[in-house]
Amino acid sequence: MAQRVKEHHERKKNIFFQHFDRISLGGKLMAATIAVLLVGITVISFSLRTLVGNYMLEKTDTQLSQQSDLVFQNIDLLSKSDTSSGLSGPNSYFLQIQYTDGTTDSDGKPLVVTPLLPQLQDGIVSVPVLPTYGNTDSITLGKVFTAPAVARQIVEVQTNDSGSSSNGTSNGNDDSGNTNGSDGSSSPDSSGGPATDPAPNGSSSSGSVTKILSSPRVNANRAAVSAASAPWRIVAKEWTAKTSNGGKVVRGVVYIGLSMSDQIDTLKTLTQYCIVVGIAVVLLGGSLSTLIIQRTLMPLKRMEKTAAKIAAGDLSQRIPSAPENTEVGSLAASLNTMLTRIEVSFHEQEETTEKMKRFVSDASHELRTPLAAIHGYAELYKMQRDMPGALERADESIEHIERSSQRMTVLVEDLLSLARLDEGRGIDITGSVNLSSLVTDAVDDLHALDPDRAIARDRLELVPAQDLSHPASLQTISGNWDAVTLPGDASRLRQVVTNIVGNIHRYTPADSPAQVALGVMPAAIDPRQLAQMPTTEASMRRFVEAAEVGQSMQTGYRYAVLRFADHGPGVPPESRSKIFERFYTADPSRARQKGGTGLGMAIAQSVVKAHHGFICATGTEGGGLTLTVILPVERMNATPLVQPATAKPKESKPKTSWFGGERKA
């Protein structure tokens, strides 16, 4: 049973939150704002009402405590004052004397006299409900307490002359239950008691006025009746009188009070004022909050529309910017950055997919050619093996099959290398590479392949900008290379240099000159950022600018810059960035004749990027192609890994080049 009740409450809770979650954010903020305003105004109004009420009550109690004796001593003066001012004039005090010394009225009950009874409009009077016949068990003498009141109306006034019998005229309650008051029936002396004691039968030596009270009529003033129903603050004191022998005797109990009608009226007015002001504040605050919330949520609506357009396929859409010191502005900036990365990643993914499709197509095409040759020569051998001279023809077929299989083997190995590089395998950049020695070996290989080719070995340096017409540039000067050591994979970097040298050998005339330059220079650019740059001349200019900053500020990284320049047919400017694409060849027929697969530059680019480097193809002055390879060496604040040309290695013998000069180990 308890489990069912729990499930029922949980179901109701879920239904409530489901309905709550359907409310818009603007509606929730509006409701929260109005709720906060209502709670704040209610708390302030209640606190203000309580504070004012307590203050007025304290003032009333202080007034009663301080003036009770004065009121009792001036009963005659106050009773003769004008009573038209009601509960707020000088005669607003209520005073009642209850005799406890045995003085009785005509009915034999303890005598009760009410000399002061404030009168309101239409003869309405407020009569507090007090203990009767001097009974003080429920109250504390001298301590102010609150007494409820009943509204009564004066229906008859009887005046008794001096010396006449006034049976019942001083009676606090008539036979019908109505309250009677005697106005001016006695006067206290200096000791606080009446000048003359009333006779046992209730007669007085002075004239008296008897007021007959009853319930208010139907046509009585409602405001007066309401004011008369307000409670009273009463203080009860003991009335003592002097005896003939100089002692004191207790005559009765005196009740003196002030009506709380004015306090209640003031609190009602204050409450109404707080309600009116609260409603105005809620309306004004709700209106202002609506405008502010709508203005604040407007960027979110724009974000929603932008997200809808992006979901429809327009990745170029961006969220309108806003001040980034605001939450919405910061969110917009973060989302725009994210959208930019998503767009770039999406385009890169598209390009990668397209390249993969082309790669698979080109690989299939390249592999199909040697496979078709192998299959054709095999079929030819089978057809001609029974004919005369089959042995000579078989040797020729086997030779063609061998060349095709070798070409296919090279192609498959290059494809496997690219696949491993794409997966981040097959390369170890934690080793140490002597780049100057590696390049010297490659130059010697080119010299061996083309003995008639003139190969220049120069130093590469940065020439700062002179003016806008002569920006900074990389230029070669005569001189020996510095010994450059950098972190990387020696075998893979050797493969990069070998592929570049192999292209010079294959695609340029054997007697055309070539130039190889090596230099080390600082550049204010991060290697990871360098590796992400596209292989264009614009990226090359950007690196030169970063090198100019690094040289002047001596900050950033040291980079080894390797340049190979030939004076062959070259590559058109619009095709230079394509030479790093897989299976791209400027002349496919010549590539097959020279034994190329179209994967050498793609492998070189993958290896260089794996080393956080950069490779770029530019034109050579006078015609030809220049390939520039940039590899990071170290941070500027690290221990230098570049040895000056004049430094002598410890116990190391210079490595002599096969084709003249010395090459440094």
Whether 514 contacts 570, CB under 8 Å: no
Find which of 84-88, 231-235, 296-300 is predicted with most confidence, using mean pLDDT: 231-235
In the chain, what are the domain boundaries? 318-426, 428-635
* CA 533, 535, 541, 545 torsion-angle sign: positive
Residue 597, C-beta contacts closer than 8 angstroms, at least 6 positions apart: 366, 407, 410, 411, 414, 583, 591
To the nearest whole number, what is the mean pLDDT of the chain? Answer: 79
Asked whether the predicted pLDDT for residue 95 surpasses 70, the reply is yes
pLDDT bucket at 519, cuts 50 / 70 / 90: very high
In this structure, what token pair is assigned to residue 29?
A: 């903020």
- What pTM was computed for the model? 0.48
Query: What pLDDT is attached to residue 469?
Result: 77
Whether 546 contacts 614, CB under 8 Å: no
Of the chain, the percentage scoring pLDDT greater than 70 comes to: 80
Query: What pLDDT is attached to residue 362?
Result: 65
Residue 439, C-beta contacts closer than 8 angstroms, at least 6 positions apart: 481, 497, 516, 518, 562
pLDDT bucket at 647, cuts 50 / 70 / 90: very low
pLDDT bucket at 81, cuts 50 / 70 / 90: low
CATH-assigned architecture of domain 318-426 = Orthogonal Bundle (1.10)
- The least confident of 83-92, 184-193, 212-221, 284-293 is 184-193
Find which of 58-67, 169-178, 288-297, 413-422 is predicted with most confidence, using mean pLDDT: 58-67
Asked whether the predicted pLDDT for residue 196 surpasses 50, the reply is no
Write out the DSSP string of 349-399. Answer: HHHHHHHHHHHHHHHHHHHHHHHHHHHHHHHHHHHHTTSTTHHHHHHHHHH
Query: What pLDDT is attached to residue 161?
Result: 52
Asked whether the predicted pLDDT for residue 49 surpasses 50, the reply is yes
Asked whether the predicted pLDDT for residue 659 surpasses 60, the reply is no
In the CATH hierarchy, which fold is given to the domain comprising 428-635? Answer: Heat Shock Protein 90 (3.30.565)
pLDDT digits (tens, 9 = 90+) for 141-186: 989 999 999 999 988 776 655 433 333 333 333 333 334 443 433 3
Query: What pLDDT is attached to residue 525?
Result: 92
**Unique residue bearing structure tokens 């605001």:** 326
Q: How many CB atoms lie within 10 A of CB 574?
A: 7
Question: Angle 600-610/490-507 helices, nearest 10 degrees?
Answer: 150
Three-state DSSP at 403 gives helix
Asked whether the predicted pLDDT for residue 458 surpasses 80, the reply is yes
Of the chain, the percentage scoring pLDDT greater than 90 comes to: 27
- Taking residues 197-203, what's their average pLDDT? 34
pLDDT digits (tens, 9 = 90+) for 341-393: 888 888 888 877 887 776 676 667 667 667 777 777 777 777 776 676 666 66
